[in-house]
Structure 1
Amino acid sequence: MAFSSALIALAALIAVTVVAGAIWRARDGRRRRGSDAVDLTDLGVTVGRVTLVQFSTETCTRCPQVRRMLRGIASAHPGVEHVDVDLTHRPDLTARHHVLSTPTTFVISADAVLVARFTGAPRRADVEAVLSELPALQEAS
């Protein structure tokens, strides 16, 4: 391969990598809307309460930070609970709930509907915004 062809291939590879990284970073921690009924029996969720379900693993480096944030949010809002599901011990849940990376956070309404899904570390303001949209919490305030 000629030197100029190798340089062009290297530049193209770098460009693709930069674009892919930018897309991944832009999507990380962003809210994705949900409207699916969730089977709560395998998550340890109390029906009738808004629940923040965090999927984590033992090797996840960002999970402890997200766990502290979600516990703080849950303690600040009456009627909200936080459930941490360790996928290291429950790998069967990854396929059932389509969890491809950790941390992944579900916001489940009191009537067991998946309201939002965050893949990656969510921002506190984004989680608070989702909670403020829920009718059960608006009545409690």
Structure 2
Amino acid sequence: MDVTLALIALGVLVLLAAVLGVCVKRKASRVRAVSEERRVDIAALGLERLGDRATIVQFSTEMCSRCPGVRRTITGLVEEQSEVAFVHVDVTHRPELARAYNLLQTPTVLVLDDAGRPRSRLTGAITRQALTDQLESVIGGVSVAR
């Protein structure tokens, strides 16, 4: 093989790897608004009652490496907000919940309004800022501690 051709092939491979890396990084953390009128069955998730203003539901699995960090982030945020409830749901042995909520990866976080309807869905590596922004949009502009 000619050296020039080998260098061109190597350059193309490096470029493809870089593009693939950017695509994977973009998909690693996604936030999207949800406009469902279907309420979440909080009893099936192990929650006795909804938060007065909002409820955060985190779905995780035993093997999820990002889930403990996301759980700590949510717990810290909820401790500062008395009107926001939090429930952590391990779906490792509950495939019916994974199907019911269309879980394709963990962690997946739902931000519910005060009536229990999902308003935001966050997946992947979730930052405190992204979660705070979504919580503010559900609560309706009331400042959430950062």
Question: Given that residues 31 and 118 in structure 1 are in contact (C-alpha distance below 8 angstroms), is that contact kept between their aligned partners in structure 2?
Answer: yes
Matched, 1:43 2:42: no
Greater alpha carbon shift after TM alignment, 49-58 vs 128-137: 128-137
Q: Which moved more, 1:130-139 or 1:79-88?
A: 130-139
* TM-score normalised by L of structure 1: 0.80
The alignment yields a C-alpha RMSD, in angstroms, of 2.9
Q: Deviations over 1:44-68 (max 9, x none)?
A: 3423541111111111111111111
Give the match for residue 22 of structure 1. Answer: 22
Which sections of structure 1, spanning at least 5 residues, go unmatched? none
Inter-partner Cα distance in structure 1 for 2:73 and 2:144: 21
Does the 8 A contact of 1:78 with 1:140 survive in 2? no
Structure 1 residue aligned with 2:58: 54
Shift in CA distance, 140/128, structure 1 to aligned 2, threshold 3 Å: closer
More helix by share: 1
Across the two proteins, how many residue pairs are aligned to each other? 138
Matched-pair contact (CA < 8 Å) for 2:106–2:123: yes
Contact 1:75 1:81 survives alignment (8 Å)? no
* 1:82 partnered with 2:91: no
Stretches of structure 2 lacking an aligned partner (at least 5 in a row): none
Task: Tell whether 2:37 aligns with 1:33.
Answer: no
Q: Check whether the contact 1:32–1:116 (CA below 8 A) recurs between aligned residues.
A: yes
| Mapping of residues 3-14 of structure 1, within 5 Å | none
1:65 corresponds to: 69
Q: Does 1:104 align with 2:108?
A: yes
Question: Aligned partner of 1:70: which letter?
Answer: I
Which string of whole-angstrom CA distances, capped at 9 and with x for unpartnered residues, describes residues 44-94 of structure 1? 342354111111111111111111110111111121111111011212111
Q: TM (normalized to structure 2)?
A: 0.77
Equivalent of residue 132 in structure 2, options 103, 108, 128: 128
Q: Alignment partner of 1:83: what SS?
A: strand
